Structure 1
């Protein structure tokens, strides 16, 4: 990987990690649904013109039913659940919970698609869930009011990411990743728009909060997806997928630097164990024996990044 590509990878991880920071600040005054609707609308304004310039708008018309379902499973519901969770949980804590998404993706792919589950991947899933138990069980946040509900909401979001990942493989394999990302985000925007209008806060949030919304939609979603597709083109989907392991690092870091959050011992241990389990479950640490295994890993990498942008 060239130095420029590595810097883009770090930038992408920093942007997606920062999304938890922006949500933590903007979710309380806007409410989860309104905030996510604004985020998706701003991101769509970035991606639709890009898709048009590449002459691939026709894919949206051709695959719109599946893109609509994917938009609900991969964006509308899980992002709202994460925004709800961050009404209670810290940005860093939530970003670590998000790292458990590949664990559920492996389980759903095994049940739904019949993907092979090697002993190493099973071990990874077990280790990953032990990490979640360590993270949640040792946190004082869970003792707070609504803390347990917030954790369940965040974990449910990761389950939906797993379902969305298998749905993409089942119904959208071969479709341009940019078209899948653009169409699903646009569909999620349309789904949330009526709810956002109904739930719009009676008191308009301050201008400083709007800056976080704009940053969330432009930098953490629109620009981040453009960076992602550059990386896929330059280094391949498998290497680009490694960004998902850096997101919680930046999520915790930004929370500490800008929100005064604390990195507890159980959070550090839980994060490390979750990432270890996730890397095993996703096949990142698995030995490569055959060329076709690499091809499968590339496909998994491409699909997994559609759910990494938080």
Structure 2
């Protein structure tokens, strides 16, 4: 990657890492469904404007219409449902912890592709999957061992449920990646992003209306949702697609390894979140496992095996 691409990748990681910060700030005022409906709605509006500016309107509408069903399915699997699960998780977990759990997305992507698409899973990749999920257990145990951290009073059961919700979100990302490969091959990334955001907005809008908070919403929370929709969704998606185009998907996916760094950093700086040695250790183990499972690290010198398989698509956030 060129120095310019590396800078762009760091900016993307900072934006997606910040999404966990903004979710944690906004979810207390908005609630889960309203916050995420606003996020995908603002993101969809941003991407529609970009799509119209880059493509003929008739061609864009025709493509979106012909692919409406698979785009809607991916919108639920890749945005609406996982975003809500992450927001629910952040009612209990810190922004830093959820950003670390998000790093398991490529692990699920590799596992789902193996089960569903019969993609090859090498011995090294299998070892990486085991290591990665062991890191998740370390991370969750660290949070259960210190309930009430980060200003949230939570029982071990509540903490475990929140972690399961975040892990469920990354599983959905993995399923969405394989579904996209199966049903949306040949459709350009900008059209897929725009269509899926529109689909996610349509799905979440009724829930947002039904669950709209009765209490006044602070300007702080409104600012967070604007940052989520414009910066962490619209601009971040465009930057990610640009990196795929100029550097390739294998290099673009490495953003997954940098997101937890910024997630932990922003949470500690702006929310005063606790960063324990156990949390850092769990993060390190997850990233090592992900690097092995996705083929970013292709061999261990003393092991002598080469990893295989194509990296799973990275999301979001």
TM-score normalised over the length of structure 1: 0.92
Alignment match, 1:120 = 124
Contact map agreement 1:141 1:147 (CA 8 A) in 2? no
- CA, structure 1 residues 185+142, in 2 after alignment: closer, same or farther (shift >3 Å)? farther
Q: How big is the shift at 1:60?
A: 1.0
Q: How big is the shift at 1:228?
A: 1.2
Alignment match, 1:35 = 35
Is the aligned partner of 1:239 residue 2:254?
Answer: no
Moved beyond 3 Å, runs of 4+:
140-143
Contact map agreement 1:24 1:86 (CA 8 A) in 2? yes
Structure 2 counterpart of 1:129, from 109, 119, 133: 133
Structure 1 counterpart of 2:197, from 185, 192, 196: 185
Q: How big is the shift at 1:174?
A: 1.6
Structure 1, 200-209 or 118-127: larger mean CA deviation: 200-209
Map Cα deviations across residues 66-107 of structure 1 (whole Å, 9 max, x no partner): 001111111111100000000110000111111111111111
Identify unmatched segments of 5+ residues in structure 1: 288-292
Q: How big is the shift at 1:178?
A: 1.2
TM-score normalised over the length of structure 2: 0.90
Is the aligned partner of 1:74 residue 2:78?
Answer: yes
Alignment match, 2:47 = 47
Identify unmatched segments of 5+ residues in structure 2: 149-153, 300-305
Alignment match, 1:150 = 162
Alignment match, 1:285 = 297
Q: How big is the shift at 1:142?
A: 5.5
RMSD (Å) for aligned C-alpha atoms: 1.7
CA–CA distance in structure 2, aligned partners of residues 107 and 236 of structure 1: 22
Alignment match, 2:303 = none
Alignment match, 1:198 = 210
Q: How big is the shift at 1:141?
A: 5.0
Q: How big is the shift at 1:251?
A: 0.2
Alignment match, 1:24 = 24
Number of matched pairs: 298
CA–CA distance in structure 2, aligned partners of residues 275 and 218 of structure 1: 28
Alignment match, 1:14 = 14
CA–CA distance in structure 2, aligned partners of residues 53 and 72 of structure 1: 26
Q: How big is the shift at 1:259?
A: 0.4
Alignment match, 2:302 = none
